[in-house]
Chains A and B, each alone.
Chain A
Amino acid sequence: MGKQLSKLILWALIFSSLLGASANTEQCRALLDWIYRELTLNTLEQSYNRAMNKMLLGLYTVHNKTKDETKYRPQMARIFNTLKKIDPELQQKLKNNNATKFHFLGLSIDFGLKLHPSELQKAFNEWANLQKTSAELFKGLDKEYLLDDWDIFTVDLISKASTLNFTNHDIKSKIEKLGKRLKAQQAHVLTGKNFDGKSLKKLFDKTSASLLKALQDEAGDILNEYQNICKQEEMELFLKQEQAYCPLPNTDQNFLELNQKLAEIQRIISSKDLLKRTAPIIELTSKPNIPVYLLNYLVNDNIKATYCKRNPNLISMITIHHTYTTKETTPLEVNEYHIDNPDYADDPWYMIGYNYIISETFAGATSTSPKVFQGRPPEMQGAHTGGNKVPLTQEQTQYMQNEMIECGNKYIGFKAKNILEMAAKDGGVKGNLISYGISIIGNFDYREHTIGNTIITGGLPPGVPSEPNENTIEAAAKLACDLQKKNPRIKTIVPHSYWKKTYCPGKLTDHLHKMASIAKELGCQFEVKISKEGEAK
């Protein structure tokens, strides 16, 4: 209960500090920072043990290698000085430890330094640096026994724990408790340990296993926390959805540092297989005109549900749709309807067909502030334009040289096809391959129909059409512009009816030029095509 409460308060602190900020971006930062802190804080003791044992093992190896070679004495002195900073009583302990036959050949050692967390951090950094600058000293030592960034993070956190601004009492006392434990441990860091490789490796493996278990438990807890505390679907995505994006602004002064930190967190999550998922892709881009919120969609686990992976740089068009649902329908429901569709029983859909969805009602969105949600990831070919194909332009033919599309799923594997060969055979490429599908939630079909003596509006079935909302058109324009900034080949906006005979996207078709003109104000250039050349408009 106390743990739950403390985390709730921590979340409240994070969120309150984010008020008024660019929500998606800041949440990305806060979330990843939180993952890092949580995983490290809650496994601090195990992480520290592992790092220390690595150092001992390294020391043993290096000492064995260099004890008879005077040229390594300066390096050995540095190693010893490093260790001494962690444990001031090191020399005495070494003298008492007969099994080591550890000699420092009369090097001058400066004792009497007062141990401080920052010294610990410095010592580890020196040690890690030594690994880089004197790699030959560590030859023969398995890579996993070398200090890694996780170890450096650990000591960095120990060093900075006191400066972290945790106002929550539970968390503060937790850190203090850990600090005390570590202090006690530091004083006995080498006591009773014999410097033989076998026992050190055993010790290291044991602490490593203990750390991994603790991390896995903690990661599991974090997943649960998301479900209990964080109702924002985009926050869950980082841990759960494949190929998710987290755009971050490059306006931050600590951009490089942040980038490195995020990359490292991803590497750790990925390398430890903690979350049993593909590590999220975090993309550092210029600040978008509109954030894209990420959702945790249910995907179709049917062996027959396949999808195609494409290079998003091949995309050159944007196709505008309406969902033809109520305005209250959520992107998650649209996803369900798409994978539920019984007319596709022979070729069921893997997930929602659109790449982006714009809602005026979901997850805090309003008609004055619509939100954009990611549908299929950009690397996944959409399912929204129908089967009609268009011939490739000369430019497309040029940049599609040697480009492949891979279709399949985790059960049957993926089969690659050359796009140009496919286009030559089929007489063109599908709109699904070369366009992003942006769908606006709602019904914009204004036709009237009669069934019996009942006149119904809003298409068939009656759905009550909405007038397109200016703010939603603006949101679509901003998204289109953001997509063009990422991929300048995207130059054309078309309605769904461009690709096939359909009334989709209803009245939105009349607003595509407005969309292009808003995008122009944002520095983007789009051509609007309502129908294919030679076809009646």
Chain B
Amino acid sequence: MKIMISILILLVSTNLFAQKKEINELMNNYLKAFHQFDSKLFKEISSEKYYKQIAPTLKTKKLKHKGEFIPYAFDLKFKPALITQNRFFVQIKDKKEKDFGEYYYIVEKQGAKYIIMDYIHKEE
């Protein structure tokens, strides 16, 4: 019985670790795309509606390039949605910031890919 539980815990942890790694990569790409105003990359990692919203900005800001993108470590928090399968509530913050703020990214796993679908204000 103990072995079974240990295996189960191990499986869940491995899965969570893999999810975190992939979501971390997604958010890194997201910041990279935003930094470089890379619409192609943005299109790959975000939903159509999110892309549609952000595309005009990417276009107008293209000339204001701020140099090479330097990957950096940010804090990531993610939790699976309570009801919808394969949906995650994700928050990121600069390590200098104290808290994660009042917004979430809505990330969904579609096939093997993680996509930023939307974002939402945290209401209470």
Contact = CB atoms under 8 A, between A and B. Distances in A.
A327 B53 CA distance: 7
Contact of B105 (A384, A455, A461, A500): A461
B54 A452 contact: no
A463 interface: yes
B57 interface: yes
Given A453-B66, A455-B66, A383 B124 contact: yes
Q: Top 8 closest A-B pairs, CB basis? A: A324-B121, A328-B49, A342-B79, A340-B81, A452-B72, A454-B35, A326-B53, A386-B124
Contacts of A353: 123-124
B72 to A, nearest CB: 4
B52 A337 contact: no
Contacts of A324: 103, 119-121
Contacts, number: 123
The binding surface of chain A is classed by DSSP as loop
A451 interface: yes
A337 B118 contact: yes
Interface string B32-43: 001100000000
A462 B49 contact: no
Given A341-B89, A342-B80, A504 B121 contact: yes
A328 to B, nearest CB: 4
B122 to A, nearest CB: 7
Interface in B7-22: none
Interface string A373-414: 000000000011111000000000000000000000000000
A449 to B, nearest CB: 8
Given A451-B31, A452-B72, A333 B118 contact: yes
Interface of A: 300, 302, 321-329, 333-334, 336-345, 348, 353-354, 383-387, 443, 450-457, 459-464, 500, 502-504
A150 B72 CA distance: 72
Nearest to A385: B124
A342 B93 CA distance: 18
A365 to B, nearest CB: 15
A452 B89 contact: no
Given A321-B121, A340-B81, A343-B89, A450 B94 contact: yes
Interface in B86-123: 87, 89, 92-94, 101-106, 118-123
A328 B106 CA distance: 14
A460 B75 CA distance: 13
